[in-house]
Structure 1
Amino acid sequence: MKKAVFLTCGKYPDISDSDRLTVPYLTSLGISVTAVPWTRRGVDWGQYDAVVMRSGWDYYRHYGRFLEFLGDLESAGTALWNPPGLMRWNSHKSYKLDLAGRGIAVTPMVLWQRGRTDVTQDINRLPSDRVVVKPAVGLSAFGVSRHDKSDVTGIGKAVRRIHRQSDAVVESYLPDVETAGESSFVFIGGEFTHHVRKIPKAGDFRAQPYLGSREFPEEADPDYIRQARTIIRSLPVTLYARVDGIVTGGRLLLVELELIEPHLFFDLYPDSAGKFAGALAGLIKSG
């Protein structure tokens, strides 16, 4: 029996309800799976044939330790998925500037690094009347706020709060999110498997269920799948990936590329849990 471990977090140490749907499939493929918080000390990660980051939802709160953790497993040659270098790159939202440099359509953004006193001119060039301010290291809607682009004082205060912990990102606000919502394209083993639409509650722009958004399965437009696939094909090998985007003007703009701990919506698409198990089994077999 091969051994896999799903990395979780201290507050939610067990396998999530959605990820639990993969367990019977993994068992049928000869793979046992357990859950261990990634922050636990003294674990022999080398005992596992695959270490899979799944619900490590607190990594941004312990960012320095998280980077050390990735480095330790990388140095030890541990079979970590997704690969540690890829998660390290994805953990800071400057990755979107990297993708934009490769020709990927991303939400227009300005990176306001700690130590930079003023990027107002760069913000003024963003093609929108409103902007969203968010931490460069963070997840969900943590630290996210919306402002009129002319509200220099409000933007500055939001950025200074974020700078206590992280660099900040100021990006164009896309009003289409209020009506069309945000689209999540899930890829398992590099292949598109399913799509979920997320609609914020009335008057909001944040597409998280705990803030009142709705999530539902939906057949995706083939052209938008193609655009999302272009992003995935620009990456090294992945076990899982989620492309979150907003369609505006007939084009999918990347909002977030989730390669660390995304919810993969196995609860909405139970068959995809089997595809995940098959992809992981293939990676274990290939060594």
Structure 2
Amino acid sequence: MKIGLLTCEKLPELTLADQQLIPELAKHNIIAKAVIWNDKKIDWNDFDYLIFRNTWDYFEKETEFNLWLDQIEKLEIKTLNAIEIIKQNKHKFYLQEMEKQGITILPTIFIDKKTNLNLTEILPKHWAKAVIKPAFSGGAYLTSVFDASAIEETNDEYTKIAEEKELLLQEFMPEIQTLGETSFIFFNKKFSHAINKKPIDGDFRVQSQFGGKYNLIQPSQELIDKAQKVVNTFQDKLLYARVDGIVIDTELHLMEIECIEPDLYFELSEGALQRFVASIIELIQ
């Protein structure tokens, strides 16, 4: 059995955490290799499975990534998660469907591509502050937070972007700065561990590259059940899913469910790497 662990040019050998997958899989007689998703020299038919791990530039290369997904699908290479899940999950308008299925999401307005963006018309009057970002994005890419009083400046900044990309406009929740964001990690649809991420003072971005601090937490069973409900909206198998949200008064407000290439925080939860590998084996046998 040969598995390609998909990564990007910035991380040709994977992250340090994901590098540990290679010796761990070798214990089960599985050869795993880091492969850059857009490396033209790779023969994808060499692999029995591909696993999306550190493809952290896909949103910067939208057209190329979409064409590559089509290529892998035509070659009938098996992937974890499945290509159809990747295609759905890479574009955050899936949150509309989540809401229709009874999931509580952050207050969100979905903006189709347009040549005459007018945020003043779109922004609800009771929103004092908002976050705007492309629907096809990750890692705070082209993401801004703005006060309603500065809406014209933001409109000017995003008018060109709106011509090329769909956008999400979300009410800014100040709790992100105090309570932080909570990530619930699931392997093969079973809860594994949870991480709380808090931004540095004065920022809203929780990513570590912006100084965010991460801590392993043990959420209540009630919260785990709410995250499980999000995962269960997927009919197909899932090797992994990361449910990201803000917990306010025991209610989970979904920000996104990551099924493409999320950090799974193996290093913060003892046994998480082994649980992940066990889930790979369950799904490929």
Query: What are the Cα deviations for residues 159-190 of structure 1, in whole angstroms up to 9, with x where unaligned?
Result: 22533652211101111111110000001111
The one-letter code matched in structure 1 to 2:109 is V
> Unpaired segments of 5 or more residues in structure 1?
none
Cα distance, 1:116 vs. partner? 5.7
Aligned to 1:261: 261
| Inter-partner Cα distance in structure 2 for 1:41 and 1:3 | 19
1:93, 1:30 → 2: CA distance? 37
Contact 1:145 1:158 in 2 (8 A): no
User: Which residue is 1:283 aligned to?
Assistant: 283
Task: Tell me: higher relative CO, structure 1 or 2? Use CA pairs within 8 A at least 6 residues apart.
Answer: 1
- C-alpha displacement of 1:119: 5.5
Q: Number of residue pairs matched?
A: 283
Matched AA of 1:77 = E
| RMSD, aligned α-carbons | 1.6
Structure-2 separation of matches of 1:191 and 1:120: 43
Give a deviation string over 1:86-108, Cα, whole Å, max 9, x none. 11111111111111111111111
Residue of structure 2 equivalent to 1:100: 99
In the alignment, residue 50 of structure 2 is paired with which amino acid?
A: V
Superposition TM-score, scaled by structure 1 size: 0.94
Partner SS state of residue 5, structure 2: strand
SS of the equivalent of 1:64 reads helix
Q: Report the more deviating stretch, 149-158 or 269-278.
A: 149-158
- Residues 133 and 168, structure 2, Cα contact 8 Å, conserved in 1: yes
Q: C-alpha distance in 1, partners of 2:164/2:15?
A: 28
**Paired position in structure 1 for 2:156:** 157
Residue in 1 that maps onto 2:228 = 229
Are residue 20 (structure 1) and residue 19 (structure 2) matched? yes
User: 1:140 aligns to what?
Assistant: 139
Task: Decide whether the 8 Å contact of 1:159 with 1:168 is kept in 2.
Answer: no
Q: 1:83 maps to which residue?
A: 82
Equivalent residues of 2:242, 2:257 under 8 A apart: yes
Q: Which residue of 2 aligns with 1:246?
A: 246
Distance 1:165 1:60, change over 3 A: farther
Residue aligning to 1:5: 4
Distance in 1 separating the partners of 2:17 and 2:180 = 22
Moved over 6 A (4+): none
* Cα distance in structure 1, aligned partners of 2:183 and 2:152: 33
Q: Percent identity?
A: 29
Structure 2 portions without partners, runs of 5+ = none
